[in-house]
Chains A and B, each alone.
Chain A
Amino acid sequence: MQALTKRAQAVDRKPMTLMERLYLPAIVKGMAITFGHIFKKKPTVRYPEEKRPFSPVFRGLHVLNRDEEGRERCTACGLCAVACPAEAITMEAAERLPGEENLYREEKYAARYEINMLRCIFCGLCEEACPKDAIYLSETFAPANYARKGFIYGKDDLLIPDPKTEPEAYAKAKGERN
């Protein structure tokens, strides 16, 4: 019968030779292979001490951004919540009062802004939807908590530190990206 492909191979059903039946040469061969692995380089990344570099488009936990003067950029337009396919974002808007111009960039701001990290799929559509450059996905990931409610991140978890008062913390939260 003609083979369908050139890769077809007949199964070798010859009885085992004496060397094969002795089994010991095969054991020695196997032992040599495992012994060789002692000297192999270990590919393990020792995680908490050592971290793998992320790609520049990595999508981790969200950050609510501030502008150069430390004012919140978010105007609570709700586009991110609409864009979110997992419906993880909720917010409540409030009007900026006179005297709060140093806190909020626009006349309207988010009084409450919550992201449920258990719902979030880290697709980054909120980042793309935002017209004010107010939300983006950072390099931090793997949040841990004992309770479910700890995964609902409010404004105090999300908001980036003020670049004017805490420049180091701001730079750390901002990460490598611009």
Chain B
Amino acid sequence: MTLLAIDWALLIEKLVLIAVIVFASLGIALYTTFAERKVAAILQDRPGPNRAGPFGLLQPFADGLKLIMKEEIIPNTSNKILFILGPALAMTAALMTCAVIPWSSHVELFGRKIDLQVADINIGILYIFGVVSIGVYGIMIGGWASNNKFSLMAALRGASQAISYELAMGLSLIAVLMISGSLSLKTIVEQQMAPGHFWNIVYQPLGFLLFFVCALAECNRTPFDLPEAENELNFGYHQEYSSMKLGFYLFAEYVNMIMSSAVMACLFFGGYDVPFLDESALAPNIAAIIGVAALLVKIIIFIFIFMWIRWTIPRFRYDQLMNLGWKTMVPLALVNMLATAAVILWRAGV
């Protein structure tokens, strides 16, 4: 008699998928740190890191090794539990996002249909927003536990910035959700893939722009990197951190970048869709591989744009940041939402 039937194959399949996705994200994040340095160098007419390995390709491992080998310093006036919790939370929250991102359609292995998505929950995008909000606690706890006024100031900035920009981000997202009528990322992507439909960027150019700017702010990237403003706050919330705890904070930022790029690709650029290619005509496994490659290409392009912006635009002043957030982004997002709603109602003929 079985009271609880467990689909062991499903369990194994999901565990393998989780392992692959986590390690792949970490690997990509590792090389994103390298890419950041290379892009910075190239945009500034320098060759960039080129000593470790061919073309400097082993540089991220050298960096990681350096961070691990460094002395671990915990300030004696800090709150030790929170001090350790901060980077752990930042990293966990960053990695948790990847659970609902549809990496591709599905593959057929051993007669099973395996979705290349860890969990297709029907509130996927809300889940992402929730997890991203938890990520802010990493910054806040880290800044608070350090017992350092600069860190605390940076944490305050980070928190208020995240709150302000999450609002505009949510509002710009609502317009997309009104078009797709679903909160599941998989459904949103599949709708964009359907024949006769274009990517959401065609319907929502302003919405994308707002979302993109807010994503920059959420990832604490320039021009919104006030929480880690080097020249005013000495490095911000991770000033007191050393060794791998610092590494985790820095790493979480890159993982966040990858995840927000993936979310943007899914919401506005058709996710794993290849334009002008009918995926349903291909064998499912081949289509899945092409889909993963397409999504990765989109993510890489977004990451490059993130970096390109970082090495072009100077940081906003704090009041400018708040002005832009509340007086420009929120009203624009509201107008965008209302206009979208009006068009949808008009087309429905109500």
> Is there contact, CB below 8 Å, between A27 and B313?
yes
Min CB distance B335 to A, Å, is 15
Which stretch of B41-49, B157-165, B230-238, B291-299 is in the interface? B41-49
Chain A residue at smallest Cβ distance from B50: A46
Chain B contacts for A40, CB-based, 8 A: 45
Residues facing B in A24-52 (CB within 8 A) are 27, 30-31, 33-35, 37-38, 40-44, 46
> Is there contact, CB below 8 Å, between A31 and B312?
yes
Number of A-B residue pairs having CB atoms within 8 Å of each other in the complex: 31
Contact with A along B39-63 (1 / 0, CB 8 A): 0001111110010000000000000
Known interface pairs A37-B42, A38-B42. Does A31 touch B47 (Cβ–Cβ under 8 Å)? no
Known interface pairs A27-B313, A30-B313. Does A37 touch B45 (Cβ–Cβ under 8 Å)? yes
Query: A40 CA to B45 CA in the complex, in Å?
Result: 7
Contact with A along B54-95 (1 / 0, CB 8 A): 000000000000000000000000000000000000000000
> Is there contact, CB below 8 Å, between B311 and A42?
no
Min CB distance B138 to A, Å, is 29
Contact with A along B308-331 (1 / 0, CB 8 A): 110111000000000000000000
Query: A150 CA to B45 CA in the complex, in Å?
Result: 37
> Is there contact, CB below 8 Å, between B313 and A37?
no
> Is there contact, CB below 8 Å, between A35 and B313?
no
Chain A contacts for B42, CB-based, 8 A: 37-38
Min CB distance A177 to B, Å, is 31
10 nearest interchain CB pairs? A34-B312, A30-B312, A34-B43, A40-B45, A44-B47, A42-B45, A31-B312, A37-B43, A38-B42, A37-B45
Given A31-B308, A38-B43: 12 more A-B contacts, CB < 8 Å: A27-B313, A30-B313, A31-B309, A31-B312, A33-B312, A34-B311, A34-B312, A35-B308, A37-B43, A40-B45, A44-B45, A46-B50
- Enumerate chain A interface residues (CB-CB to B < 8 A): 27, 30-31, 33-35, 37-38, 40-44, 46
Chain A to chain B contacts (Cβ below 8 Å), 13 pairs = A33-B312, A34-B43, A34-B308, A37-B43, A37-B45, A38-B42, A38-B43, A40-B45, A42-B45, A42-B46, A43-B45, A44-B45, A46-B50
